[in-house]
Amino acid sequence: MISFTVRMRFAQEDRAEIVEILRELTSASRQEPGCVNYIPHWVQGDQCTVLIYEQYADGKAEESHRQSAHFKKYAVGGLFQKMLERSREDLAALD
């Protein structure tokens, strides 16, 4: 299982557009065969920061997500064009 979070910061004036992009990206991503979880959040107390919790069955499923048409359209062509900062944290489940 692959689990990670992606944190992105956006300008306040882009907030409504980011919500719409995330709705489309989330809907399509959740339909991918190897997607276990795809949950975007606004960070409480910070209206400009989004945190996305993602889980994939394996590395192949994660790579398939990144190569999908919807990722290229909504993430690369949308979120990545608007973000001011981005970071990723890889997670390891407790045994």
Which pLDDT score is estimated for 8?
Answer: 98
Domain count, the chain: 1
Assign residue 63 the CATH number of its domain. 3.30.70.100
Which pLDDT score is estimated for 88?
Answer: 98
Which pLDDT score is estimated for 49?
Answer: 98
In a domain? residue 8: yes
Residue 95 pLDDT exceeds 90: no
At 30-86, the pLDDT tens digits run 999 999 999 999 999 999 999 999 999 999 999 999 999 999 999 999 999 999 999
pTM of the model: 0.94
Which pLDDT score is estimated for 36?
Answer: 98
In a domain? residue 45: yes
Domain extent at residue 32 = 2-85
In a domain? residue 47: yes
Buried b (16+ CB within 10 A) or exposed e, 40-65: beeeeeeebbbbbebbbeeeebbebb
